[in-house]
Amino acid sequence: MNKPIYLDYNGTTPHDPEVIAAMRPFLETEFGNPSSSHWYGVAPHQAVENARRQVAGLLNCSPAEVFFTSGGTESNNHAIRGTVLALAHKGNHIITSTFEHPAVLEVCRYLETQGFETTYLPVDGDGLINPADVLNAIRSQTVLITIMHANNEVGTVQPISEISAIAKQHGIVMHTDAAQSLGKIPTDVQTLAVDLLSVAGHKIYAPKGIGALYVRPPLTLEKFCFGAGQEMGWRAGTENVLEIVGLGKACEIAARDLDQNRAHMQQLRDRLEGGLFDEVDQIRRNGHAHKRLPNTLSVSFKDLAANRILEEIGPEVAATAGAACHSDTVEVSHVLQAMGVPIDWAKGTLRFSVGRMTTVDQIDHAIRVVVDAVTQLRAT
């Protein structure tokens, strides 16, 4: 059986063969604990420090400013909880947006039960935050601004450096969740001028369950989990050497091939978008036309149900729905709701996300499959 064409690279990515090759010795022979002072600890220790340099290379920071986590969710938890608990003596107010990933929203909601207050900024119809709204939301009690770099559903890229400048003027810590932007657009922490940045390995062709957090000195986070002194005391627990090595390699490749990958993804995403818009009526794009990840296409098919389209195309194309339609209710994603996408459009929303391995033939075939499915569903 032929597998469906994979157009869900924002969901996760396959392992890069170079990543697999880099990890292989740590699966097969190099089992030592990087904290061990004997012979077996040497190679794993060096590999972890090499990976730290590779991550730092992609982010343009010092290796000492990066520690490894279990992924994007944990990095966001560390960043947000760690900052506000460390700065609780200064204030209790957080600024974020309605548009964030649950790995940010749910942390803020939890912190509200602990006496913190959150302002959820709106986004415009393209999913953009207005930096003036950030400025207006600042209170004397504000200690953290957390705004995602790029959105996972629609790909809109936020004006992070402008927001960081506002944060800096007011002495507020600035965090960005870069789980989706990493490897797709530049994520230089100096240009973005952020204090904290979250990395997720499985979006950049490394394994699932590995990530990293960048922390700009002299910021010190409240400890997140307690134990031995690994990761410079930032995160206790024996390091996941195998996956740390994979993440490091993936970051090295992402930095090396960024321009080439970006151009490839954009060409294919635009081909998909163009093909669908040429052949289907009553279709709209969600997300900003240009300030958008080069690989992401969120489209709404008016008056259709996303899960019905997915059922039709499922054997040939793997994509995701922006809404779940049940017999009498429709649950539209919080992202589409935040952008004010009307319900008759929102309910028929699909996300396609291309990647490094996507080919022109796959895109052309996917266009045919989606066009046929939509035409057939509209006819019935």
Ligand X SMILES: Cc1ncc(COP(=O)(O)O)c(C=O)c1O
Nearest to 333 by CA among 316, 342, 321: 321
Least Å distance between CB 334 and ligand X?
Answer: 13
Question: Should residue 184 be labelled a site residue for ligand X when binding is judged by CB under 6 A?
Answer: no
Element (H, E) at 286: strand 283-286
Of these, 48, 55, 66, 179, which contacts ligand X (CB under 6 A)? 179
Toward ligand X, which CB reaches closer, 149 or 347? 149
CA nearest neighbour of 93 among 101, 83, 102, 79: 83
Minimum distance between the CB of residue 74 and ligand X, rounded to whole angstroms? 7
Contact between residue 283 and residue 276 where contact means Cβ atoms under 8 Å apart: yes
CB nearer ligand X, residue 143 or residue 200: 200
Nearest to 211 by CA among 28, 376, 78, 312: 78
Helix or strand or coil: residue 143?
A: strand
Q: Is 152 in the site for ligand X (CB under 6 A)?
A: yes
The nearest distance, CB 128 to ligand X, in angstroms, is 16
Q: How far is the CB of 28 from ligand X (least distance, A)?
A: 25
Q: Are 250 and 19 in contact (CB under 8 A)?
A: yes
| Total residue length of the chain | 380
**Residue 104: Cβ-neighbour burial (10 angstroms; 0-12, 13-18, 19+):** buried
The footprint of ligand X on this chain (CB under 6 A) covers a number of residues equal to: 13
235 contacts ligand X (rule: CB under 6 A): no
Contact code string over 65-104 relative to ligand X, x by CB under 6 A? ------xxx---------------------------x-x-
| Nearer to ligand X (CB atom), residue 148 or residue 276 | 148
Cα–Cα separations (whole angstroms), residue 159 to 23, 66, 175, 192, 203 = 36, 23, 13, 9, 21
Residue whose C-beta lies closest to ligand X: 72
Residue 180 within binding range of ligand X, rule CB under 6 A: yes
Decide if 166 contacts 134 (C-beta within 8 A): yes
CB proximity list for 311: less than 8 A, separation 6 or greater: none
Shorter beta-carbon distance to ligand X: residue 92 or 118? 118
Question: Hey, is 119 helix, strand or coil?
Answer: strand
| Amino acid at position 277, single letter | F
The nearer residue to ligand X, 5 or 107, going by C-beta atoms, is: 107
Which residue type occupies 373?
Answer: A
Task: Output the smallest distance, CB 274 to ligand X, in A.
Answer: 26
Using CB under 6 A as the binding rule, whether residue 8 contacts ligand X is answered as no
207 is a site residue for ligand X (CB under 6 A): no
Structure tokens belonging to residue 281: 């009526």
**The only residue of 143, 145, 148, 338 in contact with ligand X, by rule CB under 6 A:** 148
Q: What is the DSSP letter of 227?
A: S
159 by Cβ neighbours in 10 Å (0-12 / 13-18 / 19+) ranks as middle
Binding mask 101-130 for ligand X (x = CB under 6 A): x-x---------------------------
**C-beta of 210: minimal distance to ligand X in Å?**
8
Query: What is the rounded distance in angstroms from the CA atom of residue 99 to the CA atom of residue 198?
Result: 16
- Please report how close the Cβ of residue 377 comes to ligand X at its closest, in angstroms: 28
251 catalytically annotated? no
* Contact window for ligand X (CB under 6 A) among 120-128, 176-184, 239-247, 273-281: 176-184
When the beta carbons of 234 and 301 are compared against ligand X, the nearer one is 234
**Contact, 326 vs 298, CB < 8 A?**
no
106 strand-pairing partners? none
Report the residue from 200, 250, 265, 350 that binds ligand X according to the rule CB under 6 A.
200
Question: Mind telling me the catalytic residues?
Answer: 325
List residues binding ligand X (CB under 6 A).
71-73, 101, 103, 148, 152, 177, 179-180, 200, 202, 211
